[in-house]
Structure 1
């Protein structure tokens, strides 16, 4: 009965409620990061801004997240073509690359600490705090994305993801690509404004 109501509701408004919800989440995240990056620019212009080199691993992380977007798209395409073996492999690859990205971010933070760039507290500078906030909040959203990918993977093991049931993989792919695009924006922003 609930599925029939969702299908009926979907046909009336033209957008599935879960797709609509995901886009609301994405828009709210965009607004949050727009506020963060605007605050970064305003605060930087006030002076007392610590100049330091960005950790080199951020470039490696950028490559890793681009690769994870490729594997996620391959998983989506595999589901569309009912290639369930490739679907599972690409979802696992996406999980692995996502975890590698988070480990890279942790190493970037370690590099910052080693160079006496800290978050908050006495002796810290707003420049370092902003970098921790931008990368940390993105990392949190990436963790939620990894949970979504893991749920999709376990659903694929139960044959619930295939060409006739694409909603879950479509939502997961959309959110994952968004996280990759958001990181590219942050990385370019930090390179240009650092």
Structure 2
């Protein structure tokens, strides 16, 4: 007898749900975009005329925040798998709160950069600053999309549509959120090494 598929939706003939396949295509596309950005960053940095500056302290705090949010997202996923619906809601709300805190932290980091005369574009700017704003800004945009997906899953959880027999939404959201956390960790380490 076959075990029921916890993702509760029809799979394609290849055995992968179409939405999961689409998500992985999106993740690969985002990864390739950031690989291009970081490659261009390295090439441009070694051409000279590169402004040296300290990374904002908020970046380290944000790294801790996003790792905590990844843990709370995993706890929400685990709770849904065990039909612990109150815990699902609490952990989703916590993840959303941490995601918003991360975005506010990024705005504070940008403010710190401006105070230190690190700008984006314009005649007074240096490519180092522009690259930093692009890397963190594009990541922030994707984090906003992650928050939208989280809100959709949260609403579904209040309608009792997230549980052990209906895991697709929270499963996809968890994958995407872990990806965003891993991407930020990569960017932070990259910037610490190459700044």
- TM-score bracket, normalised by the shorter chain, equals over 0.9
Quote the residue 1:3 is aligned against. Answer: none
Please say if 1:119 is aligned against 2:114. no
Q: Which runs of 5+ in 2 are unaligned?
A: 1-8
SS in 2 for 1:12: coil
Deviation, 1:62, is: 0.1
- Paired position in structure 2 for 1:87: 88
Correspondence 1:176-187 to 2 at 5 A: 176-187=177-188
SS at match of 1:13: coil
Q: Which residue of structure 1 lines up, in the alignment, with residue 193 of structure 2?
A: 192
Q: Hey, what does 2:16 align to over in structure 1?
A: 15
Cα deviation code 1:126-169 (max 9, x no counterpart): 00000000000000000000000010000000000000000000
Distance in 2, matches of 1:186 and 1:12, equals 37
Specify the alignment match of 1:54 in structure 2: 55
1:63 CA drift (Å):
0.1
**1: distance between equivalents of 2:12 and 2:165?**
17
Q: Taking CA–CA contacts closer than 8 Å with sequence separation of 6 or more, which of the two structures ends up with the larger relative contact order?
A: 2
The ranges of structure 1 where at least 4 consecutive aligned residues each deviate by more than 4 angstroms after the TM superposition are none
TM-score normalised according to structure 1 size: 0.95
Is the 2:12–2:18 contact (alpha carbons within 8 Å) kept by the matching residues of 1? no
Mapping 1:167-182, distance limit 5 Å: 167-182=168-183
The structural deviation recorded for 1:11 is 5.0
C-alpha root-mean-square deviation of aligned residues, in Å?
0.7
State the Cα distance separating 1:14 from its structure 2 match: 0.3
TM-score scaled by structure 2? 0.95
CA deviation digits over 1:22-44, x for unaligned, max 9?
00000000000000000000000
Structure-1 residue corresponding to 2:149: 148
| Separation in 1, partners of 2:145, 2:88 | 20
CA distance in 2, matches of 1:77, 1:162: 10
Aligned partners of 2:179, 2:57: CA distance in 1, in Å? 23
Structure 2 CA distance for aligned equivalents of residues 131 and 150 of structure 1: 29
What SS is found at the alignment partner of 1:55? coil
Cα gap change, 1:91/1:171 in structure 2, threshold over 3 Å: closer, same or farther? same
Aligned residue pairs, count: 187
- State the 1:13 CA deviation: 1.6
Partner Cα separation in structure 2 for residue 37 and residue 69 of structure 1: 23
Q: How does 1:21-170 map to 2 (within 5 A)?
A: 21-170=22-171
1:55-80 Cα distance to aligned partner (Å, 9 max, x none) = 01100000000000000000000000
